[in-house]
Structure 1
């Protein structure tokens, strides 16, 4: 009997998963993207397709948690210092775009013959871009950490902040508005109180909580705690009248400096992807084909007019903010749709009598249809000819850490891995744009730019950093970085990668404190293993290798004094003699050790 009762629920779950498993790979194979695949699958299995689901709003409400978790992950990548540096983009660029678009879209609504109140509410809902769609596209392209992506994220954050004032405006416009309604100052006070509680908990309770849980090494409890933090922060903000997504984002920001940041991101990632896919499925189900059929003229013309006007507005604002033509056009196409928060605003307006049921149904259909059309427009935009790509500008560096690292190739990645494992964060600069974008997949923040440029090093915090790691494979640029760093910050400790002995000597003269020949350590390890294969005991081979390592490194300083950059390595007789003398002393020391004699490591 129990099986019979739970059978339909299992069938529905299987149907949801199967539709996604079939549609998403198919649409990605066709080059249409995963978002459009989810939307199409939702339309097919929804009440206006096969009718397997008749209550998409319930699924949509649950699936919005995917957007909430997504914002939490974004918050983990933005520490408070980074967020502070984005303040001009959030409140400057964000307010310019939102205010201009809201005014223009209100006029569009009036031209359709509705009152200014209805037009304003409709425009305000449509101006709130879909965080889920935009973030998904940026994430798939690894553009969240780029300058272009950061501007879009800033605008989305400003739009999330508008939920409270917009709901207050809807209440003010309501014909049912009475003096007994909650005063605006009280609503703002509650919101600020909830925000203060969240910040206090994040600063003083979350890190001790995760340290305590980590001590017991219960992975499933850590995952539960991560979800509790995300949902609890969202719930607290919802109580204060703000969006759940904003609460989750702030929780992520407060934990961005935590040693558990990568662990938290790994714990919530599976839930984020699954719930975000479920969100798009629910949006597809929500497209009421009956409403579209009955009012197809006004809905089709409405969605095209609103998307066109919003796109033009976004393009103009982007160009005013000095974005390139291609960047502005891409932003306009990507952000021209309405978003999930429009549903919340329209529901509030309907309940308070600002709009009627017909307007609510039409605007809901327009917003959903705009979300469905966005992936198609992105595909069409991708086929347009682009202007010749200019030299990419260096990323804006919005964070400064104790460690500054130049270069993130095969050598630099290992150095950073050691530092990260020990709890240190680095400001990383690299000149490989593809590498910088790709490393974002691993949750490693880096910046595109030429680290040999003095102004970029100063922006990255060279004057305040304690350690500079120079891990680039360009000899001349490495020397430029070391020389400038030693002048700009005499107290900084410089660890530099060297190509060979000659490069080692150059770096020594330039002022590096610790110089690592990129193949020296691995070559010594190779020598140890060769000794073992020749019959030497492992412990003895280790001692020989370690002794050789110490003596060779001690001798580098003496040879560096004799080194003349203008001379050929094999024409500097003084250095050649010193090298031969050191080789002889090293061999004598090793033989003495093998014979059990006292070892003299002096050179």
Structure 2
């Protein structure tokens, strides 16, 4: 089949499959597997599993490791060292040891057992992080444990990527070979990191000064693939060099821009990698070994969940929390397939075992969303003490709020919540704060502050905090999902309680108001108001006029401050963000479709776009009157979202 037809077939199939998986709220990774399985040589045979396709797919792994390096943070690792190094290290080593022992008891050679153990020790970062964010459990106790363990798994991939090729070439003295490989890796990493840190910042500064996005992306690709080639040339893996490239760039101020630019390359190439893995699945081998696959899937989930639960319990975490972390991480992960593919390419794996393992890992990932979604219910069923502890949480909140009336309930006790609490205390207004950070709650409670451990999205927690007698609820979460979850509970059961919501910027103001927020306070806009007020006073504007003007802006819900002009290098927000209100100036020429037409007739509101003003030569700035007739040379200032602005500009200039 011609190359163009193959690409078109893969793209069409991937679009349809990813769309179905997203509709079912399943990870896109499974869609790529299904496409490879359906089109591969063992099923319909529409696409051949060629070396060229596999070679291109390897770049997906390169960019996946680059992303891991980009997110690698020594300060974060140090802050979470007990969870990451303690629990994460124990989980990987114990899972590896148990799987190796079990595989060798079944008669599998020890090197193959090691590859299988390393693959099954991994969990899916994509599935777990996505589900935890959607369920607003990322900052819960089991959520933090899960993320910490996942972080160590990502780190553990690096030595495994070095060990597997070394095991494949271990014909003689294994200890000497492993020692040589470790020494070579250490020298290469030391050289790259030492010289890379000295060169990376000035080099990126030089590239960024050219103000060319094309050049910037090409530079990132050059560095990533260049370091990948360097480590491969040194006898190591491509992925290790990509990891180093990510680590180096993570130390620069261009990290987030790089992450945004490289995302599409990574996702598409990684999708191709998983398609090639799906091609290796043989439907006949799958059907012939279905019993073993189902049994092994259940065993993998049970063993991993049990080991992680036991490790968390030994670290003195509550049984229910430990169970929830275990169920959350019980599946295989993206790196499981990477390690399995490397083991297969190195001839360390029996082809029949590879088929069984591929299907087992795929089935475990299919079950993962359901286990994560229901981990709370399962934990309460399996650990009655967890249910009693949740009841004790409600009682603890009730005890902390005893005797309160006409008080404020603060949902979230971070920096914003704590600053508000200080003002309330000075005015002698009673309050109770709820937070899910156990360390924060312990320290603040020890200081005598009215702070209790509790999830603000649970109605029983809010009622225990005296919601019926409260005068106001203040939500200061940084996450939109968490805020919307609390608003939904409040408006469903207590629609008359005033709710004040803090948000970062004006992006979600309308959504939060529609969800029931009485007032929404955007931090960026409030900072702009304070900056303006100080500047006006210094410039000699009377204080009472400044106060009046600031009050007017707030009463109008910041309407005059909504949106701003985006430059080539804006430092406040990512210029690629399509969900941010922004301003755009459109200049009309003699052939523009909007000339000699009224603003009303253009109907720009259909695109959720407002005309802020019209600037006309010597007449200056004119108000946006619906009956205003536009003229040649007018500059129309629009306010709206990225896509709406593009459509409105087309109407003004082209008439369509």
Q: Same fold (TM over 0.5)?
A: yes
The answer to whether the aligner puts 1:370 opposite 2:360 as a matched pair is: yes
Partner of 2:117: 124
Which residue does 1:345 correspond to in 2?
A: 343
Deviation for aligned residue 1:547: 1.9
Once the two structures are TM-superposed, the CA of residue 109 in structure 1 deviates from its matched residue by 2.0
Q: Which residue of 2 aligns with 1:65?
A: 59
Distance in 2, matches of 1:517 and 1:552, equals: 22
Contact 2:14 2:32 in 1 (8 A): yes
**Larger Cα Rg: Structure 1 or Structure 2?**
1
Is the contact made by 2:305 and 2:330 (CA closer than 8 Å) also made in structure 1?
A: yes
**In structure 1, distance between residues paired with 2:435 and 2:356:** 42
Is the deviation greater in 41-50 or in 241-250?
Answer: 241-250
> Of 225, 243, 246, which residue of structure 2 is paired with 1:249?
243
* 1:294-314 Cα deviation digits (max 9, x unpaired): 555555544544454344323
The answer to whether the 8 Å contact 2:84/2:152 transfers is yes
2:488 aligned residue: none
Contact 2:64 2:266 in 1 (8 A): yes
Residue 541 of structure 2 is matched in structure 1 by: 548
Show the counterpart of 1:261. 255
Taking structure 1 as reference, are residues 328 and 57 closer, same or farther at Cα in structure 2, changes over 3 Å only? Answer: farther
Asked if 2 retains the 8 angstrom alpha-carbon contact of 1:68 and 1:245, the reply is yes
Q: Encode CA deviations 1:256-276: one digit per residue, 9 max, x unaligned.
A: 231212221121011122222
Residues 525, 545 of structure 1: 8 Å contact kept: no
Deviations 1:15-40 (A, max 9, x none): 11111111111122133332322222
Q: Is the 8 A contact 2:127 2:369 kept in 1?
A: no
For 1:163, the equivalent position in structure 2 comes to: 161
1:56, 1:285 within 8 Å by CA — same for their partners in 2? no
Instruction: Specify the alignment match of 1:330 in structure 2.
Output: 327
Closer, same or farther in 2 for the Cα pair 1:543/1:105, shift >3 Å?
Answer: closer
Kindly state the Cα deviation for residue 521 of structure 1 after the two structures are TM-superposed: 6.5
Aligned mate of 2:351, from 327, 343, 361: 361
Separation in structure 2 between the aligned mates of residue 518 and residue 19 of structure 1, nearest angstrom: 45
Determine the structure 1 residue equivalent to 2:88.
94
- Matching residue within 266, 269, 278 for 2:272: 278
Structure-2 separation of matches of 1:376 and 1:519 = 45
Alignment of 1:31-70 (within 5 A): 31-55=25-49, 58-70=52-64
The equivalences for 1:552-571 within 5 A come to none
Residue 372 (structure 1) shift: 1.6
Taking structure 1 as the reference length, the TM-score comes to 0.59
Deviates more, 1:226-235 or 1:265-274: 226-235
Q: CA deviation at 1:198?
A: 1.8
Distance 1:313 1:224 in 2: 44
Cα distance change, pair 521–246 in 1 and its aligned pair in 2 (3 A): closer
| 1:499 counterpart residue number | none
Residue 150 (structure 1) shift: 3.1
1:203: how far off?
A: 0.7
1:559 alignment partner in structure 2: none
Do 2:40 and 2:47's aligned partners in 1 also have CA atoms closer than 8 Å?
yes
SS in 2 for 1:162: helix
In 1, the alpha carbon distance for the partners of 2:440 and 2:120 equals 34
Is 2:415 aligned against 1:406? yes
Output the CA distance in 2 between the equivalents of 1:270 and 1:34: 14
Match of 1:193 among 187, 190, 207: 187
> Contact 1:39–1:281 at 8 Å: present in 2 too?
yes
Tell me what 2:308 maps to: 314
Give per-residue Cα distances to partners, 1:294-336, cap 9 Å, x unaligned.
5555555445444543443233224334451343233332348
Given that 1:94 and 1:156 are in contact with CA atoms closer than 8 Å, whether structure 2 keeps it comes out as: no
Partner in structure 1 of residue 569 of structure 2:
none
- Alignment RMSD (CA, Å): 4.5
Structure 1 residues 203 and 215 mapped into 2: Cα distance closer, same or farther (>3 Å)? same
Conserved in 2, the CA contact under 8 Å of 1:32 and 1:375?
no
Q: Is the 8 A contact 1:287 1:368 kept in 2?
A: yes
Question: What are the equivalent positions in structure 2 for 1:413-424 lying under 5 Å apart?
Answer: none
Q: Deviations over 1:29-67 (max 9, x none)?
A: 133332322222221122223212121665344334334
Cα distance change on mapping 1:276 and 1:349 into 2, 3 Å:
closer
Q: How far is 1:135 from its partner?
A: 3.1
Match for residue 20 of structure 1? 14
Gaps of 5+ in 2: 381-386, 395-413, 421-432, 448-471, 477-522, 548-656
> Across the two proteins, how many residue pairs are aligned to each other?
421
Q: Give the Cα separation in 2 of the matches to 1:151 and 1:279.
A: 25
User: In 1, distance between residues paired with 2:10 and 2:439?
Assistant: 41
Secondary structure in 2 aligned to 1:233? Answer: helix
Q: What CA distance in whole angstroms lies between the structure 1 residues aligned with 2:536 and 2:79?
A: 51
CA distance in 2: counterparts of 1:97 and 1:202, whole angstroms: 33
TM-score, normalised with respect to structure 2? 0.54
Cα gap change, 1:450 to 1:304, in 2 (>3 Å): closer
Residues 333 and 365, structure 2, Cα contact 8 Å, conserved in 1:
no
CA contact (8 A) 1:202 1:255 kept: no
Once the two structures are overlaid, the 10-residue window that deviates more, 240-249 or 229-238, is: 240-249
Give distance in 1, aligned partners of 2:267 and 2:302. 30
Per the alignment, residue 129 of structure 2 pairs with 138
Deviation at 1:223, TM superposition (A): 0.1
Q: Structure 1 residues 551, 160: CA separation in 2 closer, same or farther (over 3 Å shift)?
A: same
Say if 2:99 and 2:116, in contact at 8 Å, map to a contact too: yes
Q: CA deviation at 1:191?
A: 0.8
* More RCO (CA 8 Å, sep 6+): 1
Report the CA distance shift for 1:38/1:181 in structure 2 as closer, same or farther (over 3 A): same
